[in-house]
Amino acid sequence: MPPTQHKDYYATIGVKKTATSDEIRKAFRKLARKYHPDVNPGDKKAEEKFKEISEANDILSDEKKRKIYDQFGFYSDQIDPAAAEAAARAGAAQGAHGQGVPFDFGGFDFSEEAQPGSGGGGWGSFRDVFSGMFSRERQAAHGPQAGTDLEYQVNVDFWTAIRGGTARLEIQRQEVCPTCHGKASTGGSQTCPECHGSGQVTQMGGRMKFNIACPRCGGTGKVQNACPTCHGEGTVYKTEPLEFRIKPGTRDGQRIRLAGKGNAGVNGGAPGDLYLIIRTGTHPVFTRQGDDILITLPVTVSEAALGSRIEVPTIDGRAQLRIPPGTQSGQKLRMRERGVPSATREGMRGDQIVTVEVSVPQVRDERSREILREFAKLNPDDPREAIWAKV
């Protein structure tokens, strides 16, 4: 029976075991750009390397798969995430009593094919072993557990994002159970019905025998009476309205963190945080780019040719803009500090970028045609001369 292959996915990606999801994602992207088959056509080594980092990223970027890998040193679809969590609790309880985990997975085949009568020695399915070991009801962990973070997307209109204001939404979050006050039990304990107070249970998988800490009581031999309101979870779900402030200059995609507004912790654990992802609306005239405001402004031929001062709409109202003589269509003119106040840099403000669009008039009378013909005679320059020179 071939030994189980243990792969160091963290080393493959090039990160520490304590790396955050963001660090793992960045490390994978960096390696993917280097070893992608499109960048290395025909390079078999690069192709194999890309497969390795893709496999490692698939496991480490998935919270449930990573939890299983961290607990057992390998990943298998046969293991339920609840099994990894129960094994972690069992290992912690064994360690607290000065005992090691009394089984070893090395040298066993965990594939589905290792069924009795298949030549695999009657070991049974890996799924069967662990579903029997860990399909017990979840119990509240001993000690405080911090609440999880929440994330909501909030749509705000164009002007609220620029000028600031308040926004409202309804969120659903876990709050501390009002009956048990987050303790998950109503007080008192009873002998664990699973291990009958011994703190250990024995599981069989084919010819493998496992003595582990009881996953129901965590090896203590006692279980608490579950709270009837939260059913032993320590928290209950509640929908509540939330009002929060939008700072002037808030950008699209900006994250707002509201500390302690996430899910409640249990057993006295701190609550998680609430993250709001801002999505800003658009405007029919103004286009926002960071802290700059972009606008396309039509001007007449005479204004562009002779130069002029014109009024331009801004997010503050109106402002004067000088059009230099000879301004061409498509030319960009900058209006300093007429953009959006910065939400991150106090006292700073973006610019307004005006793209000039020369509007050619419709000639409706003969006198205007004569003037234009006279103008053409006085200004015989060929605007296509530079193109012909390059051809």
Q: Is the pLDDT of residue 114 over 70?
A: no
188 pLDDT tier (thresholds 50, 70, 90): confident
CA pair distance 302, 188, nearest whole angstrom? 91
Average pLDDT value for residue range 105-133: 43
Reported residue count of the chain is 391
pLDDT tens digit string along 356-379? 999 998 888 999 999 989 988 998
The segment with the largest mean pLDDT, out of 200-214, 218-232, 267-281, 314-328, is 314-328
Q: In this structure, are residues 226 and 185 in contact, taking their beta carbons and an 8 Å threshold?
A: yes
Q: Please give the pLDDT value at position 146.
A: 87
CA pair distance 352, 350, nearest whole angstrom? 7
Overall CATH class of domain 147-182+232-282: mainly beta
Q: Please give the pLDDT value at position 205.
A: 54
pLDDT tens digit string along 203-217? 665 556 667 788 778
CA pair distance 184, 192, nearest whole angstrom? 16
Q: Which two tokens stand for residue 42?
A: 């025909």
| Burial of 165 per CB tally in 10 Å (0-12, 13-18, 19+) | middle
Identify which of 263, 240, 236, 238 has the alpha carbon closest to the alpha carbon of residue 179.
236
CA pair distance 297, 323, nearest whole angstrom? 11
Q: In this structure, are residues 109 and 120 in contact, taking their beta carbons and an 8 Å threshold?
A: yes
Q: Is the pLDDT of residue 388 over 60?
A: yes
pLDDT tens digit string along 249-280? 999 999 989 999 999 887 778 899 999 999 99
| DSSP secondary structure, 24-71, as one string | HHHHHHHHHHHH-TTTSTT-HHHHHHHHHHHHHHHHHTSHHHHHHHHH
Q: Out of 14-23, 174-183, 203-212, 310-319, which region has the weakest mean confidence (pLDDT)? A: 203-212
Q: Please give the pLDDT value at position 344.
A: 84
Q: Please give the pLDDT value at position 207.
A: 58
Q: In this structure, are residues 195 and 136 in contact, taking their beta carbons and an 8 Å threshold?
A: no
Q: Name 277's Cβ contacts closer than 8 Å, sequence gap at least 6.
A: 151, 152, 153, 154, 253, 254, 255
**Dihedral of the alpha carbons of 90, 91, 93, 96, in degrees to the nearest 10:** 170
Q: What CA–CA distances, in Å, run from 288 to 78, 159, 344, 350, 364? A: 50, 11, 16, 10, 38
Q: Is the pLDDT of residue 140 over 50?
A: no
CA pair distance 107, 3, nearest whole angstrom? 4
| Percent share of the chain, pLDDT over 70 | 79
CA pair distance 358, 345, nearest whole angstrom? 36
Q: Please give the pLDDT value at position 219.
A: 82
pLDDT tens digit string along 51-107? 899 999 989 998 888 888 887 777 766 565 655 565 555 555 444 444 444 444 444
Q: Out of 1-5, 309-313, 346-350, which region has the weakest mean confidence (pLDDT)? A: 1-5
Assigned CATH topology for domain 287-390? HSP40/DNAj peptide-binding domain (2.60.260)
Q: For 115-123, which contacts have Cβ atoms below 8 Å and span 24 or more sequence positions? A: 116/206, 120/1, 121/1, 121/206, 121/207, 122/206, 122/207, 123/205, 123/206, 123/207, 123/208
Q: Which two tokens stand for residue 40?
A: 């290395």
Q: Please give the pLDDT value at position 135.
A: 38
332 pLDDT tier (thresholds 50, 70, 90): very high
For the chain, the domains span 147-182+232-282, 287-390
139 pLDDT tier (thresholds 50, 70, 90): very low
Q: Please give the pLDDT value at position 7.
A: 81
Do the first three CATH levels of 147-182+232-282 and 287-390 match, i.e. the same topology?
Answer: yes
| Percent share of the chain, pLDDT over 90 | 35
Q: Please give the pLDDT value at position 222.
A: 82
Q: How far does Cα 67 stand from its chain's mean position?
A: 18
124 pLDDT tier (thresholds 50, 70, 90): very low
